[in-house]
Amino acid sequence: MNIDEAAEKIKNMEIRGAAKIAVFAVRALRDFALNVEAEDEFDTLISRAATKLLDTRPTAVSLYNGIHYVMKYSGITVNEKKESIKSLADEFIERAERANEQIGRIGEKRIKNGSTLMTHCNSSAALSIIKTAFRKGKKIEVYVTESRPRKQGLITLKELDDEGIPTKFIVDSAVRYFMKDVDMVVVGADTITANGTLINKIGTSQIALAAHEARVPFIVAAETFKFSPKTLHGELVSIEEREASEVLEDEVLDKYSHVTVRNPAFDTTPREYIDLIITEVGAIPPEMAYVIIREYLGYALEEFEG
Ligand code: RI2
């Protein structure tokens, strides 16, 4: 697969889910680099490929962190550079995969036997917690939201069903109606900013509000790669707005002359509504986002410029 094909798969959401996107892009960049022949143009070609991958989906910061992890490559000869890219990429992929398991192990401790959970969209990190709790013998059931417009709730439904976890599938607008039956909300993250704000699938902030109102703990599952160093340097997170056709079929929309569709893929949940973030390095309050960025991502400002 070439870089254009890889980028297209991310853009059209054939590959989706923040963590999976990052791992897929890092793998694509590594494989591309290993096949570059041109000696004098090596750095230019790699940086062009990295930009192409980064330009696919703007919100999830793990894509950015993954690509930048690899772009720290060093070496004088092309072979040295290839070696360095391969080892950084493999290290990133291994860390991402291990993080998912560690999040499951840490997060499952917060789930009480007999709990009813709610999750939104399809997050591998949130599901790692839920599946680990179930595999440890805890009796749980899960409310799964449909997650319009892309209906990733169907993927979650299948994953939970494959595990044998009792699941109730609900439309997004039924969240507040059922919140009284829920003991804990567990969602994933596309990005967490330096001040502890969560950016996740559209609808997450409404769930957080409903949970807050009902005094239901709201837990976020996020690897350290989901924290945004860019926000520490003042950048705002750009929220991807996707095509109208994901929400309304063209034939329906074409009937109207004064209607447009707005389709943001993500929304923001302020830290006041978040009880805990489960990372691979521990369960932390959202206020500690700054510390995670400094200690575990630790990028210098220059790395984001130019
Ligand atoms: P993991 C997804 O985005 C959802 O917003 C999900 O909560 C988030 O990525 C994190 O998923 P999309 O790619 O990294 O479906 O935990 O737009 O798998």
Cα 21 to the center of its chain, rounded Å: 8
Predicted confidence at residue 303, as pLDDT, reads 54
The answer to whether 124 and 152 have CB atoms below 8 angstroms apart is no
**In which residue ranges of the chain is CATH 3.40.50.10470 found?**
104-295
Name the residue of 121, 202, 207 whose CB sits within 8 Å of the most ligand 1 atoms, as the mutation to test its pocket: 121
Name the residue of 130, 144, 187, 190 whose CB sits within 8 Å of the most ligand 1 atoms, as the mutation to test its pocket: 190
For residue 43, indicate whether it is catalytic. Answer: no
For residue 254, indicate whether it is catalytic. Answer: no
Q: How far apart are the first and last CA of the chain?
A: 28
- Ligand 1 binding pocket (C-beta < 6 A) is 16-20, 121, 123-125, 152, 187-190, 200-201, 265
Domain over 3-101 is classified CATH 3.40.50.280: no
Taking the C-alpha atoms of residue 79 and residue 150, their distance in angstroms, rounded to an integer, is: 42
Taking the C-alpha atoms of residue 247 and residue 179, their distance in angstroms, rounded to an integer, is: 26
Extract the tokens encoding 301: 């400002």
**In which residue ranges of the chain is CATH 1.20.120.420 found?**
3-101
Predicted confidence at residue 304, as pLDDT, reads 44
Cα–Cα–Cα angle for 283, 104, 64, nearest 5°? 75
Count the helices and strands in the chain (H runs, E runs): 12, 10
Predicted confidence at residue 297, as pLDDT, reads 85
Predicted confidence at residue 39, as pLDDT, reads 84
Query: Residue 74: how many CB atoms within 10 A of its CB?
Result: 10
CA of 123 to the centre of ligand 1 (A): 5
Choose the catalytic residue: 121, 162, 250, 267. 121
Taking the C-alpha atoms of residue 121 and residue 151, their distance in angstroms, rounded to an integer, is: 7
Q: Which helix (H) or strand (E) holds 129?
A: helix 124-135
List of the chain residues with pLDDT < 50: 300-302, 304-306
Domain over 104-295 is classified CATH 3.40.50.10470: yes
Predicted confidence at residue 296, as pLDDT, reads 87
Q: Shortest CA distance to 98 belongs to which of 28, 169, 23, 36?
A: 23
Nearest CA to ligand 1 atom 1: 123
Taking the C-alpha atoms of residue 209 and residue 147, their distance in angstroms, rounded to an integer, is: 16
Taking the C-alpha atoms of residue 182 and residue 214, their distance in angstroms, rounded to an integer, is: 9
CA of 1 to the centre of ligand 1 (A): 23
